[in-house]
Amino acid sequence: METRIIIQIRWLAVLLILSLLPSTAWPQQQPPALPASAQAEELTLEQAIALALLENRQVKVASLELDKFADRLAAAKTHRLPKLHFSVLAFELLASVDFDFKQGDLGTLPGIGPVPQTDISIRNPLLPAIFINGSVFQPLSQQYQFSLVDRKIKTGREIAREQLRGKKQEIVSNVKKAYYAVLQSQSALQSVVQTLKLYQELDRVTENYVIQKAALKADSLEVKTRVQKIVYEEMNLRDQLEDQKEKLNNLLGRDIRAEFRVRPVPELTIYDADLTAARNLALAQRPEVKEAELKVKAAEYDRRIKKSEYIPDLSIGVGIISPQNIRLLPQIIYGGFLLTWEPFDWGRKRHEMSERDKAIEQAETSLRETQNQVLIEVGDKYRKLRQSRQMLITAQLAQETARENVRVSNARYAAQEYLFKDVLQSQAALAEANYQYQQALLSFWTTKADFEKAIGADQ
C-alpha cells in the first residue's frame, strides 16, 4: 500500500509539471525564444511595414510609373515653344532646267533699252545642287489645345499616384497578414518545443515505472505515441515557419534567406466602427474610387482636346529658302503667318467626338460600379471582423475552460478519482483549445488587416 502511494505521488508530480507547460497562445505569458534563432534580428510590425514601403519591388515599379509623368509633362510643354524646322536637299538634275527670256521680258530701262536686248536662253548644267530650307514658327491658336493636353497629363499623374497608393495599401495588408502568420507559427513552435521536452521526460519516467512494475506497458506506449506526434508537429511547424519567413522577406524586398524573429503584437484590440461611417470613409479615401473619379476627368479633357481640333492652327514666324548651284533662283527670306485648317473632313471629327462622349459615359458608369463594389466590400469585411472577434472571445473562454479542467483532473487524480488516461485526455483537450485559440487569433488579425485595407487605411 505504501509503495502504491509513493508511485501515485510520483505520477502526480510529473503531471503537475505537464500542466504548467506554456500554452500556444496564453496572452499573459511571454513565450521563450527558439534556440535556433536566439541571435536572430527582432522585427517589429512597424519596421516590416516601413521596410516594405521602401524596398518592395512592386512599390518601386509603381513609383517609377509615377515618375514617368514628370518627363511626359515636360515633353508636352515643349510644344508651346517655337518650332524650328531645317532641311537640306542634296540632289543632281536628271534633266537640264532652261530659262528662256524674250527681248524685253524683264522690262525696258532708259538709256539701255529692252532687257534683255535679244532673246536669250540660260541652261543649268547637270551638276549636283543643294536646296536649303529653314523656318521658325511660334504656335498661337494651338496654345489652348496644348493647355488641355497638359491638364490631361496632370490628371494621368494623379491617377498614377492613386495607383501607387493602392499598391502600397495592398503591400501593407499583405505584410500584416504575412507577419501575423509568422507570429502565430513562431508562438506555436515555441510552445511545442517546450511540450516536447516535458513529454520526453514523462516518457523516461514512465519507462522506469514500467520496469518497476508500477505502470502498464500501454501507458508507456501511449506516451511514446504522443511524443512522436509532437515531433511531427514540431517538424511541420518549423517547415511552415521557414516558408512564411521567406514569403515575408520577399514582400520586404530583401534576401529571402534573411533570418529574423517577430515581436508579439496586442492579441485583442477593441475596434469599434460604425458601418455607415466606415463606408463613408472608404468612399473618401479608397484609391480605386479616387482613380475612377480622375478617369472621368481625364475622359472629359480628352473630349475637349478633340473638340479643339476644330480651331484652325495659326502660327507666326520667319523662314529662309536658299537654293545652291542653281542659276537664277535667288535666296528668299520671309516672315508672316501660317494658317492650317481642314474645313471638310468627311465627318471624321464628328465621329471622334461621339466616341469621346461614349468614353465619358463609360468612365462615369465605372465610377458608380467602383463605388458600389467598395461599399459591398466594406460591409463584407466589417461583418467578418465582428464574427472573427466573437470567435476569438469564444476560443479564449474555451481555452480557460480547458485549463480549469486540467487543474480539476490533476486534483481528482491525486484523490484517486481519475485514471491516468483521463488526465492525458484533459491535457489533449487543452492542447486543442490552445490550437483553436491561435487559429482564432490569426483569423482576427487577418480580418482586421482586410478591413483596414477596405476602408483605405494607409498603415
What is the maximum span of the chain, computed from C-alpha positions, in angstroms?
A: 162
Predicted confidence band of residue 197 (pLDDT cuts 50, 70, 90)? confident
What is the average per-residue pLDDT within 299-312? 93
Mean pLDDT for the stretch of residues 330-353: 89
CA dihedral 410, 411, 413, 414 (to 10 degrees): 120
Q: Give me the pLDDT at residue 92, please.
A: 80
Q: What is the pLDDT of residue 271?
A: 58
If pLDDT is split at 50, 70 and 90, which confidence band does 86 have? very high
How far is Cα 121 from Cα 134, in angstroms, rounded to an integer? Answer: 31
Confidence of residue 39 (pLDDT cuts 50, 70, 90): low
What confidence score (pLDDT) does residue 408 get? 79
**pLDDT confidence tier of residue 268, bands split at 50, 70 and 90:** low
Average pLDDT over residues 289-298: 94
Q: Find cell 479608397 and name the residue.
A: 286
Q: Please, are residues 11 and 19 in contact by the beta-carbon 8 Å criterion?
A: no
> DSSP for 115-170?
SSSS-EEEE--S-EEEEEEEEEEEESTTHHHHHHHHHHHHHHHHHHHHHHHHHHHH
Mean pLDDT of 178-206: 81
Three-state SS at 409: helix
Indicate the pLDDT class of residue 419, thresholds 50, 70 and 90.
Answer: low
pLDDT computed for residue 31 by the predictor: 39
- Look at 39-43, 165-169, 286-290, 373-377 and tell me which has the smallest mean pLDDT: 39-43
Lowest mean pLDDT among 35-39, 108-112, 119-123, 193-197: 35-39
* 205 compared with 83, residue with greater pLDDT: 83
Assigned C-alpha cell, 144: 489652348
Written as nine digits, the cell of 377 is: 466590400
**Average pLDDT estimate for 332-337:** 90
C-alpha closest to that of 438 among 405, 411, 398: 398
* 43-52 mean pLDDT: 90
The cell 484590440 sits on which residue?
Answer: 269
Strand ranges inside 47-124, DSSP E: 83-92, 98-101, 108-109, 113-114, 120-123
Query: What does the DSSP assignment read for 224-254?
Result: HHHHHHHHHHHHHHHHHHHHHHHHHHHHTTS
CATH of domain 2-88+148-315+348-454: 1.20.1600.10
| pLDDT for residue 213 | 78
CA distance 88 to 44: 67
pLDDT digits (tens, 9 = 90+) for 125-183: 777 888 899 999 999 999 999 999 999 999 999 999 999 999 999 999 999 999 999 98
For residues 447, 449, 454, 458, the Cα torsion angle rounded to the nearest 10 degrees is 170
Q: What's the chain's average pLDDT?
A: 83
Q: Which three cell numbers stand for residue 114?
A: 529692252
pLDDT of residue 351 exceeding 50, the answer is yes
The Cα angle at residue 111 between residues 109 and 115, in degrees rounded to 5:
35
**pLDDT recorded at residue 35:** 43
Task: Output b/e per residue, 86-124; b: 16+ Cβ within 10 A.
Answer: eeeeeeeeeeeeeeeeeeeeeeeeeeeeeeeeeeeeeeb
* Stronger pLDDT, 270 or 327, i.e. the higher one: 327
Residue 409 has pLDDT above 90, yes or no: no
Task: Give the mean pLDDT of 244-267.
Answer: 87
- How far is Cα 89 from Cα 263, in angstroms, rounded to an integer? 74
- Residue-level pLDDT at 328: 67
Q: What is the reported pTM? A: 0.76
195 vs 396, more confident: 396
pLDDT score of 388 more than 80? yes
Q: Percentage of the chain surpassing pLDDT 70?
A: 86
Of 146-160, 364-378, 426-440, minimum mean pLDDT range? 426-440
Q: In terms of pLDDT, which residue wins out, 110 or 34?
A: 110
Domain range summary for the chain, segments of one domain joined by +: 2-88+148-315+348-454
Residue 34 has pLDDT above 50, yes or no: no
